[in-house]
Structure 1
């Protein structure tokens, strides 16, 4: 499977770029390399890689600008962002612009390979699920929970009649909750189910995404109606009214 997957590395530090390319090729992936943002955009347009590894700070265009540009073009290729910055602001900004995951330097090669594998697997599962849903007789049936309506195939969510703007991961997380109303999930369970991996120390990613979901979904994010905190256990989507 790996041999058919093409990965673009955009990293301006030669030693890091060489190390990443060496190990990704060793894992069986096809690899393209560049050191700046404009070249990354050109290569992605020309080749259409299966996954992008973008450094946050690059000449020309930084990783966030590359990510923003690709998403504005409708390119939802998985993006793994590499950053020397570990502040919550940087993580939230990257997620807002559509990055799928983060690694903060320094990181281990084993962890990088695990993240790459998980993002590719998640992308494949998403495509398979969409194909299966499109073939199902009831594929168009929305999930409804009070004022919340989700159309899984079209990947559209509305609350109180207003269409919401979610990143790919935010939508996947919301959909997972909506498919299991009333079920309580720990952050680790959500990380494994939605992101496709479990790694100690990265459960804050789930918290960040839930906060962002609430900011867009809830009338009062501090007193949510849909995604509820179960103290000491995790989170759940409220039961559907009448159930």
Structure 2
């Protein structure tokens, strides 16, 4: 998107240069940070539309940067770009509030597509302006404060968890294919199926009495997921 400001955080100058070349071809404005410490300093001074963050850096690792940003209630989209491909690492970073995860080596055009999709999603009037609360069968989703209320308890969630649950709550009873759900939330077709299942599991732990036997977010084998029209007991 024209004039979108992107912070690229990586201790490898060649990677930073490669990313910035392709983003700037799309008329985005790049600021480079060589370390986690420098990234945190820049985030204190300036606002960005998105952050691209490496995990393994010498001074301050990317997880620390991610945790610090989210602890400050900064909801700027963050895409992790890392050579670490283990599922456990992806689960941890997504759980800490990352919006997307791309493994090195990556295809530059795919990274650009994901950057654009995450910026569009963060600016979407559907989730940010037209309504600040969704309510269904005892679940209240607060879109502005990124919280879920259920049975007198309140849970903090990430922006991505919020967007996934909002998609379900707007269409109770509808069965989403995985492609449809990913398109509804991330706005692009390329996805990591593990990432989607991670967010589903996070949400189930917050809204289901028994996450292993979900009543709300149901898996429809061979198709995808459905937010069931749960009957009151």
How big is the alpha-carbon RMSD for the aligned residues of Structure 1 and Structure 2? 1.7
Aligned residues: 232
Residue 212 of structure 2 aligns to a residue in which SS?
A: coil
Q: In the superposition, relative to structure 1, how do residues 151 and 51 fare at CA in structure 2: closer, same or farther (>3 Å)?
A: closer
Question: What's the CA shift for 1:208?
Answer: 1.4
Q: Partner of 1:10 in structure 2? A: 9
Distance 2:113 2:81 in 1: 14
2:57 maps to: 58
2:103 corresponds in structure 1 to: 104
Normalised TM-score (structure 2): 0.93
Unaligned residue ranges in structure 2 (runs of 5+): none
How many angstroms apart in 1 are the aligned matches of 2:112 and 2:128? 26
Secondary structure of the structure 1 residue equivalent to 2:80: strand
Identify unmatched segments of 5+ residues in structure 1. 134-138
Secondary structure of the residue that 1:157 maps to in structure 2? strand
* Aligned-partner Cα distance in 1 for 2:143–2:23: 33
Q: Does 1:208 align with 2:198?
A: yes
CA contact (8 A) 2:146 2:158 kept: no
**Aligned residue in 1 for 2:151:** 160
What is the CA deviation profile of residues 56-112 of structure 1, one whole-angstrom value per residue up to 9, with x for unaligned ones?
111221111101101111111000101111111101110111110011001101101
Aligned pairs for 1:1-243 within 5 A: 2-126=1-125, 129-133=127-131, 142-145=134-137, 147-199=138-190, 202-241=192-231
Shift of residue 241, structure 1, vs aligned partner: 2.8
Aligned CA distance change for structure 1 residues 86 and 234 (closer, same or farther; 3 Å): same
